[in-house]
Amino acid sequence: MPRVNTVHRLATTALVGVAVLFSGSLFAQSAGASKSAGSCPALLNKTFPRLQDDTPQNLCQYAGKVLLVVNTASYCGFTPQYEGLEKLYADYSAQGLVVLGFPSNDFGDQEPGKSKDIADFCYNTYGVKFPMFAKTVVSGKEANPLFAELIKAGGSAPRWNFYKYLVGRDGKFIDSYASITTPQSSRITGDIKKALAKQP
């Protein structure tokens, strides 16, 4: 009987130990999640469907990065800028730059296609690998929440396709650039380099 009690006591102790470890792990995970959520700037705390498959993507995953947000279109005189945007992404992504593309049919009906058509066009024609999101509205009263906040912060709404907004590592608006300003312009690349040098 004493031996049975000893075994029972040892088993109970082991179970309590496992429970403590498990609850500690859950607490750590919860704290980590809270920390992660708390460190996401308000501007990025938004979710949009991914262009390729409509999978929801929370922009908090880009917290701490420098972002170049662009409204795009497949049948525009500025469409070749996809090549320059992809080059920017390739050249500076290792340092923390992310280009975010938002196809829109707001200007000249130059993005009439469905998501799959747009995704195929971007990849097959320009080799686009930077994150792209489902077609959306980027101007006027129905502008999506990200563009609405960027417009408010910068005081300037997109006037045409391939309008660009630069966002710092801290999630704050830095500047905006007209469609005619190419991704490789000294103004954009200079601002990107300065933003990448700053820590949030």
Average pLDDT over residues 11-27: 41
Same domain, 159 and 74: yes
**Percent of the chain whose pLDDT exceeds 70:** 80
Q: Mind listing the pLDDT tens digit for each residue in 129-169?
A: 999 999 999 999 999 999 999 999 998 999 999 999 999 99
Residue 189 belongs to what domain range? Answer: 42-197
- pLDDT of 9: 52
User: Tell me, what's the pLDDT at 159?
Assistant: 96
In percent, the amount of the chain with pLDDT more than 90 equals 79
At 13, is the pLDDT very low, low, confident or very high (cuts 50, 70, 90)?
very low
Q: Are 70 and 51 in contact (CB under 8 A)?
A: no
Whether residues 14 and 58 fall in one domain? no
- What is the pTM for the complete model shown? 0.81
Rounded Cα distance between 195 and 193, Å, is: 5
Q: Are residues 16 and 67 in the same domain?
A: no
Task: Please give the pLDDT value at position 78.
Answer: 98
Say how far apart CA 19 and CA 197 lie, in whole Å: 45
Same domain, 73 and 128: yes
Q: Which residue has the higher pLDDT, 131 or 30?
A: 131
- Shared-domain flag, residues 26 and 87: no
CB 57 within 8 A of CB 131: yes
Candidate list 40, 60, 76, 122, residue with the active-site label: 76
Q: Which of 10-19, 34-43, 79-88 has the lowest mean pLDDT?
A: 10-19
23 and 105 part of one domain? no
**Together in a domain, 60 and 20:** no
* 88 and 16 in a common domain: no
Q: What is the CATH number for 54?
A: 3.40.30.10
Pair 76, 170 in one domain? yes
Number of folded domains that form the chain: 2
Q: Give the model's confidence band at 199: pLDDT under 50 very low, under 70 low, under 90 confident, else very high.
A: confident
Kindly state whether residues 125 and 56 are assigned to the same domain: yes
Which has more confidence, 21 or 8?
8
Mark whether 20 and 64 lie in a shared domain.
Answer: no
User: Do residues 4 and 18 both lie within one domain?
Assistant: yes
Q: 104, 76 in Cβ contact below 8 A?
A: no
**DSSP-derived secondary structure for 29-41:** HHHHHHHHHHTS-
**122 is an active site residue:** no
